[in-house]
Chains A and B, each alone.
Chain A
Amino acid sequence: MTTISPASVDFTGSQPETPSGRRLTFVEALVEGMRDEMRRDPSVFLMGQDVGAMGGAMQGSKGLYEEFGPRRVKDTPISESAMVGAAVGAALTGKRPIVEVSFGEFLPTAMNQIVLQAANLHYMTCGAARVPMVLRTRVGDGPYRGHPQSYEAWFAHVPGLKVVMPATAADAKGMMVAAIRDPNPVLFFEHMWLYHGVRGEVPAGDHVTPLDSTFVRRAGRDVTIAATGWMVHKALGAADLLATEGIEVEVVDVACLSPLRTEVVEESVRKTSRLVVAHEAWRTGGFGAEIAATIAERCFYDLDAPVARVAAPDAPLPLAKPLRDAFLPDVRDVAEAVRRVHAG
């Protein structure tokens, strides 16, 4: 089995044209984005469980409490619904709260606040209300193997929410900055394998990655892989492997799930005529289905083979490592899907 380890990833991200020489991990870049915005804008504050003196789960808010204190870095009880409600309400008063739900596994406890309140308020007040908040959460498999659920597709289904899932350190910072500045509720999904593993060049100072970003991470003429989050890196691993077999893969990082823009994927598919979509979440109703359907609508006559999906199987996610490894899509799965589509 071909695997890809986080330590092997060396990936620069979206701003290679202004190399800064600063190489940060994903989580360092993420925290820097929050820190910069908190310095710049006094209306920004962070709340969540253990975000204070502890520095956040997986160092997700390291150093912020020391710099900004308890007024702006607020520890909360284990009350996800109230926490997200607190963010929605504070946003209504013109603040720019960042609320951290420690892990995506806990999002269902805050579902009402997210899909009924945050998503609806702007439209249903004819624009009188705005909800400029960021909900950040950790998802996917990771070094500690806990809380691996990936529910991002649920939220991409709901209009009024923006949903992003950066795959690089530079975008972790740049998209966090953009999310904080955005006048809408933004769900910010942080894949846990990326946290301490992906080191990349991150511009210092003001660095904004537009929320509606989609990136070509590797150019290739034969097959397009459209992937999200950690699967972008597995797709790049598969592309390396397939290059040795003479298959040139183009890897597209769909960093923004909602509102979805597929122009970059469409352009790629018009060139390659073949598409594989890859994500770590379940297959049925997964986000890949939305990409596949959109491409079928817009690029049907450009396709030379059926679109293939690489995703987790439709079963509950097992916890033990051997089961987990067997369950989650890996580089081999991506490569096999590409070979199948390439042959088709």
Chain B
Amino acid sequence: MATAAPTRINHPAPHAHGRDLLRLMILSRVLEQTCCELNPRWFPAEGEEAAIVGAFYGLRSDDFIAAHYRGPFIAYYLRGADLARLIGQALAKANGYARGRALGFTGPFELGCLPWVAGDLGTSLGVATGVATGYQYEGGDRVVVCSFGDGTSNRGDFHEALNLAAVWKLPIVYVCQNNQYSISLHLSQVLATDTIAARAAGYGMPGVAVDGNDVLAVRAAVEHAVESARAGLGPSLVEAQSYRLSGHWASDPGGYRRDEDVAAWRERDPITRLERQLLEAGEVTRHDLDQLWQDARDEVARAVEVAQAAPSCDAADIGLGEAYAS
């Protein structure tokens, strides 16, 4: 019924969507770094762009996503979210999708994204699994992609959600954005197994661990899992193994880990890697790459300008009477 052991997918050939994936990773890098500059409490996603873009690329507009709190803006952008409104959320501006009522990294529900309405980890897996329950109930072939961190995989909600999804064969793909750190704790301090994907076997669902710095590998694994879910074959767990290059939050000096470890992972930067692959394959030129970075910087700069000009959240819009729907 399920693959017992995690398998690694090798995907060396440049992908048909390579250039688009590169554009999105560069945009994610610039976007999230800009948010970190604007908000020292922002959660940097530097180095994890392949895991994020690879997880949420190529979905249908009637699918649903629940993105991990680290680096979700590119996932929302893929759903059609407006960059200026997202940056406004990082700045607590009134132009954010939640107008200041939810966490800064909240997703626009109206675009099929799970909002972040609480700062706990793990409950998003339960709700995303519920959306998949709703999709299964209505028939059709809509799917949910839900990402979460390696730390979150130690919450009991992970266990309950994955077991329920497997038992009910729900159309959902769980993507573990493994950056090896729960704030200051390395994965080896909180996990006794080699991979998180190995847990999938215990639930009776396929589990694969892929190089999370290889966007083509992440994309291929998730695409396969999405097709499987869409075909009614049930959920999968994909572990994208990456590394958190920056601190837990923007101003976290990260003194709890060795500089040489960070430096070694910088050598494996997912963006540099895809750039090199595409250059070698002759799919892009140096000039193309410069242009991609410049376009991303321009696009984000324009959005920042709009966000900064947006009004701050106004107490008059606190909406105390809106706790209940009518």
**Co-assembled chains A and B:** yes
Q: Which of B109, B130, B157 contacts A87 (CB 8 A)?
A: B130
Q: Which of B135, B164, B324 contacts A76 (CB 8 A)?
A: B164
Q: Does B255 interact with chain A (Cβ within 8 Å)?
A: no
User: Do A124 and B102 touch (CB < 8 A)?
Assistant: yes
Residue of B nearest to A160 (CB): B323
Q: Does B246 interact with chain A (Cβ within 8 Å)?
A: no
Contacts of A160 in B (CB 8 A): 323-324
Contacts of A123 in B (CB 8 A): 101, 319, 322-323
User: Do A93 and B156 touch (CB < 8 A)?
Assistant: no
Given known pairs A79-B164, A89-B132, the reply for A125 and B115 (CB within 8 Å) is yes
Contacts of B106 in A (CB 8 A): 124
Q: Which of A82, A90, A183 contacts B325 (CB 8 A)?
A: A183
User: Do B157 and A82 touch (CB < 8 A)?
Assistant: yes
User: Do B118 and A85 touch (CB < 8 A)?
Assistant: no
Residue of A nearest to B106 (CB): A124
Q: How far is the CA of A90 from the CA of B170 in the complex (A)?
A: 12
User: Do B322 and A92 touch (CB < 8 A)?
Assistant: no
Given known pairs A82-B126, A83-B164, A117-B126, the reply for A93 and B323 (CB within 8 Å) is no
Q: Does B117 interact with chain A (Cβ within 8 Å)?
A: yes
93-132 of chain B: CB within 8 A of chain A: 97-99, 101-102, 106, 108-110, 115, 117-118, 120, 122-123, 125-132
Q: How far is the CA of A160 from the CA of B323 in the complex (A)?
A: 5
User: Do B325 and A89 touch (CB < 8 A)?
Assistant: no
User: Do A86 and B157 touch (CB < 8 A)?
Assistant: no
Q: Does A343 interact with chain B (Cβ within 8 Å)?
A: no
Q: Does A342 interact with chain B (Cβ within 8 Å)?
A: no
Report how many A-B pairs have Cβ atoms within 8 Å. Answer: 146
User: Do B126 and A126 touch (CB < 8 A)?
Assistant: no
A71, A82, A183 — most chain B CB neighbours (10 Å): A82
Nearest Cβ distance between residue B76 and chain A, in whole angstroms? 13
Q: How far is the CA of A256 from the CA of B133 in the complex (A)?
A: 30
User: Do A90 and B130 touch (CB < 8 A)?
Assistant: yes
Contacts of A90 in B (CB 8 A): 130-131, 133-134, 137
A86, A128, A132, A184 — most chain B CB neighbours (10 Å): A86
Q: Does A159 interact with chain B (Cβ within 8 Å)?
A: yes
Nearest Cβ distance between residue B209 and chain A, in whole angstroms? 24
Nearest Cβ distance between residue A268 and chain B, in whole angstroms? 26
User: Do A113 and B127 touch (CB < 8 A)?
Assistant: yes
Residue of B nearest to A183 (CB): B325
User: Do B98 and A113 touch (CB < 8 A)?
Assistant: no
Given known pairs A77-B167, A124-B102, A124-B106, the reply for A89 and B326 (CB within 8 Å) is no
User: Do B129 and A82 touch (CB < 8 A)?
Assistant: yes
The B interface is mostly helix, strand or loop, or mixed, namely helix
User: Do A45 and B120 touch (CB < 8 A)?
Assistant: no
Q: How far is the CA of A333 from the CA of B231 in the complex (A)?
A: 62
97-128 of chain A: CB within 8 A of chain B: 97, 112-113, 116-117, 120-128
Q: Does B141 interact with chain A (Cβ within 8 Å)?
A: no
User: Do B126 and A125 touch (CB < 8 A)?
Assistant: no
Q: Does A64 interact with chain B (Cβ within 8 Å)?
A: no
Q: Does A208 interact with chain B (Cβ within 8 Å)?
A: no
Q: How far is the CA of A91 from the CA of B134 in the complex (A)?
A: 7
User: Do B127 and A127 touch (CB < 8 A)?
Assistant: no
Contacts of B109 in A (CB 8 A): 92, 121, 125, 128-129
B130, B160, B168, B325 — most chain A CB neighbours (10 Å): B130
Given known pairs A85-B129, A95-B134, A117-B123, the reply for A126 and B156 (CB within 8 Å) is no
Residue of B nearest to A80 (CB): B160
301-326 of chain B: CB within 8 A of chain A: 319, 322-326
Q: Does A209 interact with chain B (Cβ within 8 Å)?
A: no
Q: How far is the CA of A162 from the CA of B161 in the complex (A)?
A: 25
Contacts of A92 in B (CB 8 A): 109, 127, 130-131, 134
A95, A120, A125, A130 — most chain B CB neighbours (10 Å): A125
Q: Does A88 interact with chain B (Cβ within 8 Å)?
A: yes
Given known pairs A93-B131, A126-B319, the reply for A113 and B123 (CB within 8 Å) is yes
User: Do B126 and A81 touch (CB < 8 A)?
Assistant: yes
Given known pairs A89-B131, A112-B120, A117-B123, the reply for A122 and B322 (CB within 8 Å) is yes
Q: How far is the CA of A184 from the CA of B322 in the complex (A)?
A: 11
Q: Does A259 interact with chain B (Cβ within 8 Å)?
A: yes
User: Do A82 and B163 touch (CB < 8 A)?
Assistant: yes
User: Do B127 and A89 touch (CB < 8 A)?
Assistant: yes
User: Do A89 and B137 touch (CB < 8 A)?
Assistant: no
Question: Could you list 11 examples of A-B contacts with CB < 8 Å?
Answer: A81-B123, A82-B129, A88-B126, A89-B127, A112-B123, A122-B325, A124-B106, A124-B117, A125-B101, A128-B108, A160-B323
Q: A85-B129, A90-B137, A131-B325 are in contact. List 11 more A-B contacts (CB 8 A).
A: A77-B163, A81-B126, A82-B160, A89-B133, A90-B131, A92-B131, A112-B122, A122-B325, A130-B325, A183-B326, A184-B324
Chain A to chain B: the 3 pairs with minimum beta-carbon distance, closest first = A89-B130, A85-B126, A93-B134
